Structure 1
Amino acid sequence: MKLSSLCNRKNVLILCIIVILLYIISGFYNPLVLTRYDYTSSKVPEGFDGYRIVHISDFHCKEFGDGESDLIAMIRNAEPDLILFTGDSIDDEHSLDNYRDLITGIYDVAPIYYVNGNHEYDASAPLAEMKELNEKYQVHDLNDASVVVEHNGDSILLSGLDFRLTMRGLRNNIDYANTTMFNILLYHGTDKFDGIAPYNYDLVLSGHTHGGIVCLPFIGGIISNQKELFPKYDSGVYTSGLSTMISSRGLGDASIPRFHNPREVICITLHHSS
């Protein structure tokens, strides 16, 4: 009996070790996924019912297939009406080649708008070249700007904020949302959401935290790419007051490897409710 009990304990221990090892090994496999969200509001105009927005964040010139073929195919297959980049498309560790491949592969799919993240301002990041490429392919700069987007005879307001804002700068640069229109705001960092929410933007799109990089069951992301432990807004949907934020896990890498944290493209479908 004692020998049988000892063998059973040994088998359980071996099984636990195997499960833990498989969990660890699988954690470093983080495929490219398309995450879909549905956003429903009475403020969404009837003409925008079913309108699809692809949200891309923290690309960091990461390669997804030859000539970005995998990423381009995912975006095109989503059939978006609008494509939005929320910063860190480039950095100082990569050339512009992968970003160029991506833009030339999707510029004809839908109108594209972007705001800058922190890495666009890295000392040796190819920001000037990115701007030149964006202008060539009509990728529109939305840093500290707004534009009216029209579709099926209705309109929404699309706004963006440059990442280089302190909270004081935020208050000086942000306007209260137009209450008569549906408003979308692009801003790279999730950390300013508590400051942005009182301005009543309906939908805020952000990234920056890379989903918390290392993700654990029942906990979520445990560290941001800025080394912040247990970031408040790591990824997913958050609501504060009248504002909803969707935070992307992003596509690129940080100094710490991703763990159980798939790279994502987000597709948001707007729905009108009466």
Structure 2
Amino acid sequence: MLSLRRICQILIIIAILTIVILGFHSPLETTFYTFSNSKLPDAFNGYKIVLLTDFHLKEFGDHESVLVQKVADCKPDLILLGGDFIDEKHTSLSPLNDLLKGIHTLAPIYFVSGNHEFDKSTGEPILQYAEMQALFSQYGVQDIDDQTITLIKDSDSIQLTGRKWRSTNPARGLSPADDNTFHLLLFHGGNFFDQLSPYGYDLILSGHTHGGIVRLPFLGGVFSNTGSLFPKYDAGLFHQGSSSIIISRGLGDARIPRFNNPPEIVCITLYQK
């Protein structure tokens, strides 16, 4: 017959294993934000944006059915792809094809590159880049690296600037936002908010941080992309001056698996202030 001490030891082991299993197998979540700004024109009041980042060709259900349904449930007016949709370790782009096939009729889709779209040593696009661009062409996804476009709804408009991935000096050559127009910036590197905020973009949408990879209660993300601990910008909504940023925890995994850090899609509703 087991002693009370032995029973307690077994229960503790079971509890620890349960925590570990649940921590590494968190289901996909949707995180909802509302963002208000006085410059937002009438037609964009209630405008919904879905932000997807750091896909890394991860599979969410049969033919990405889980991810596609969650995007559809947000009823987006705009879908933004914030980089790291491919990487060198995955040669098949079938997950990306399935995702785009499922969402391309929901709303206009725009993309900017992340660090994993490029070879770390040479800075050149990885082999899968051309195939990714072919899928974008097939499904009507517009690559807006280093471009500014006008989003029009009824007789009103806002601006969207896309920023190509830069690992250093991400703001070099970046034009300041228009003070008189609501202006979005889509850039992969959320950890660069301090360098980007002085340029006056009303809302910056980013990823890259993977939510700090490992998340601890009350402390947030543990690891930064630079190797330091407890990064200032891990995930969520931050403000600095006249600029704000929403950093997604992202969808997939890069080199280190997530722990207590569910993959997420971000759904933002814009309102007039």
Task: State TM-score, norm by structure 1.
Answer: 0.90
Letter in 1 for 2:60: F
Q: 1:29 to 1:225 in 2, by over 3 A?
A: farther
Q: 1:207 Cα deviation (Å)?
A: 0.5
Q: 1:13 Cα deviation (Å)?
A: 7.0
Greater C-alpha radius of gyration: 1
Residue in structure 1 matched with residue 63 of structure 2 by the alignment: 67
Kept in 2, the 8 Å contact 1:91–1:125? The answer is no
Q: 2:155 pairs with 128, 153, 156, which one?
A: 153
The answer as to 2:53 corresponding to 1:57 is yes
Residue in structure 1 matched with residue 27 of structure 2 by the alignment: 31
**Helix, strand or coil for the counterpart of 1:173?**
coil
Q: 1:256 to 1:225 in 2, by over 3 A?
A: farther
Q: 1:165 to 1:256 in 2, by over 3 A?
A: closer
Q: 1:136 Cα deviation (Å)?
A: 2.4
Q: 1:41 pairs with 33, 37, 44, which one?
A: 37
Q: 1:29 Cα deviation (Å)?
A: 1.8
Alignment of 1:1-274 (within 5 A): 19-94=15-90, 95-122=92-119, 124-164=126-166, 166-167=168-169, 170-224=170-224, 227-273=227-273
C-alpha separation in 2, matches of 1:12 and 1:35: 38
Q: 1:153 to 1:118 in 2, by over 3 A?
A: same
Provide structure 1 residue ranges, at least 5 long, that are not aligned to the other structure. Answer: 1-6
Taking only aligned residues, the RMSD between alpha carbons, in angstroms, comes to 1.9
Q: What whole-Å deviation, never above 9, does each CA across 1:231-273 have from its counterpart, x for those lacking one?
A: 2211001111111100000000122221110010100000112
C-alpha separation in 1, matches of 2:40 and 2:204: 14
C-alpha separation in 2, matches of 1:184 and 1:116: 16
Kept in 2, the 8 Å contact 1:51–1:271? The answer is yes
Q: What whole-Å deviation, never above 9, does each CA across 1:9-62 have from its counterpart, x for those lacking one?
A: 888777665544433332112111111000011111111111000000000110
Kept in 2, the 8 Å contact 1:235–1:248? The answer is yes
C-alpha separation in 2, matches of 1:158 and 1:268: 15
Q: When the two structures are aligned, how many residues end up with a matched partner?
A: 265
**Helix, strand or coil for the counterpart of 2:172?**
helix
Provide structure 2 residue ranges, at least 5 long, that are not aligned to the other structure. Answer: 120-124
Task: State TM-score, norm by structure 2.
Answer: 0.91
Letter in 2 for 1:64: F
C-alpha separation in 2, matches of 1:21 and 1:263: 21
Letter in 2 for 1:158: L
**Helix, strand or coil for the counterpart of 1:52?**
strand
Kept in 2, the 8 Å contact 1:250–1:265? The answer is yes
Q: 1:255 to 1:225 in 2, by over 3 A?
A: farther
**Helix, strand or coil for the counterpart of 1:164?**
coil
**Helix, strand or coil for the counterpart of 1:252?**
coil
% identical aligned pairs:
50
**Helix, strand or coil for the counterpart of 2:136?**
helix
Kept in 2, the 8 Å contact 1:212–1:224? The answer is yes
**Helix, strand or coil for the counterpart of 1:172?**
coil
**Helix, strand or coil for the counterpart of 2:68?**
helix
Kept in 2, the 8 Å contact 1:213–1:225? The answer is no
Residue in structure 1 matched with residue 122 of structure 2 by the alignment: none
Q: 1:129 Cα deviation (Å)?
A: 1.1
C-alpha separation in 2, matches of 1:102 and 1:194: 32
Kept in 2, the 8 Å contact 1:144–1:160? The answer is yes
**Helix, strand or coil for the counterpart of 2:40?**
coil
C-alpha separation in 2, matches of 1:228 and 1:255: 16
Letter in 1 for 2:55: F
Q: What whole-Å deviation, never above 9, does each CA across 1:120-146 have from its counterpart, x for those lacking one?
A: 113644101111221222201110001
